[in-house]
Amino acid sequence: MPGEIITDQGKEFITSRVGELCTIYGMEREALPPFRPDEKGLVEKTFDVLQQKYKPLLRGKGVIEGDAQERWATDYRSQALLNLTEFTRVILHCVIYINSRRILKNFIPTPEMCADRVEPISAALWQWHERQGKVDIIPAGGEDLYRMTLPRMVTKFTRKGIVRDGISYMNNEYRRYLQEVGMDKELTVAYDPSRIDAVYWVRDGKYIPFPLALSSAQFNGLSQMEYEMARDKVKEQKKELEQQDTEARVAVIKSIQEIVDEIDGVEKPRQKGAEIRENRADERRKLT
């Protein structure tokens, strides 16, 4: 991770999530005033160089020209041909070129750089500074960063553990956590829509994993979309079974009513107690 982030007031960099990132890794964050390109000239110039690479090739295909805000100007949106994925590929090719191939013509190297024959290219200069130990980089684990980028939700502990979208999650320490927190306090939970094997309780900057509970173990290995498809299929099956159950109950009632109708109105002599006992004994003898 970089030791410092310099940005404007863009919401992507002033959110609590970025603040959490800076706190955990000790990164410094400086937010510059908006609409002051003169205070971040290097960034603005890089944007200019970047656009110079793709604009000539995409002119008439959706590129916004300088007269976009003027009256009678062309609606450049109607010319757009690239989707977001295709335009991202264009940008990535330009970024790779700027960092690894573009020569910095006005760059003046130090005597040490000249002695090491460092090329005036951004990537080469970066690698040279890294070898000299002059790069302010903070080591960061891939798993930690993965968890920090996950979407989050607010929930509470339940008797079944942490429940998200009908799925239960529980770990070996759940009972202790339940005693400490209780079932009334709200919790922040991070989850991965691409795999529902576990969720993470975000507590004091730490991510405590909660794997699937045994009651939900059948969903192990599924993505959120696959789980929703399986859940909808089960709902359809239950709906069909409910219809069959209704039809079966109607049939049972009809059968009972037919039996009642057969004996209705038929007079039978009342049996005495002795006859009832004798009939019972006779039936038992038949069973043995």
Given a cut of 80, whether residue 267 has pLDDT beyond it is no
Residues 6+ apart with CB under 8 A from 129: 135
The correct CATH number of 4-140 out of 1.10.287, 1.20.120, 3.90.320, 3.30.420 is: 3.30.420
pLDDT in tens, 21-73: 888 888 898 888 777 777 777 777 888 888 888 888 888 888 888 777 777 77
**pTM of this structure:** 0.56
Contacts 24+ apart (CB under 8 A), 180-186: 181/157, 182/157, 183/156, 183/157, 183/158, 183/159, 184/156, 185/156, 185/157, 186/154, 186/155, 186/156
- Looking at every residue in the chain, the average pLDDT score rounds to 86
Which has the higher per-residue pLDDT, 277 or 43? 277
- pLDDT mean over 95-105: 91
Rounded to whole angstroms, how far apart are CA atoms 159 and 116? 65
Question: Given this model, what pLDDT does residue 49 score?
Answer: 85
Rounded to whole angstroms, how far apart are CA atoms 6 and 201? 30
Which has the higher per-residue pLDDT, 271 or 203? 203
- pLDDT mean over 129-150: 87
- Break the chain into its structural domains and give their ranges: 4-140, 143-222, 232-257
For tokens 């070898």, the residue is 131
Given a cut of 90, whether residue 89 has pLDDT beyond it is yes
Given a cut of 90, whether residue 280 has pLDDT beyond it is no
Question: Given this model, what pLDDT does residue 234 score?
Answer: 80
Pairing between β-strand 157-158 and β-strand 167-169 as defined by DSSP bridges:
unpaired
Given a cut of 90, whether residue 125 has pLDDT beyond it is yes
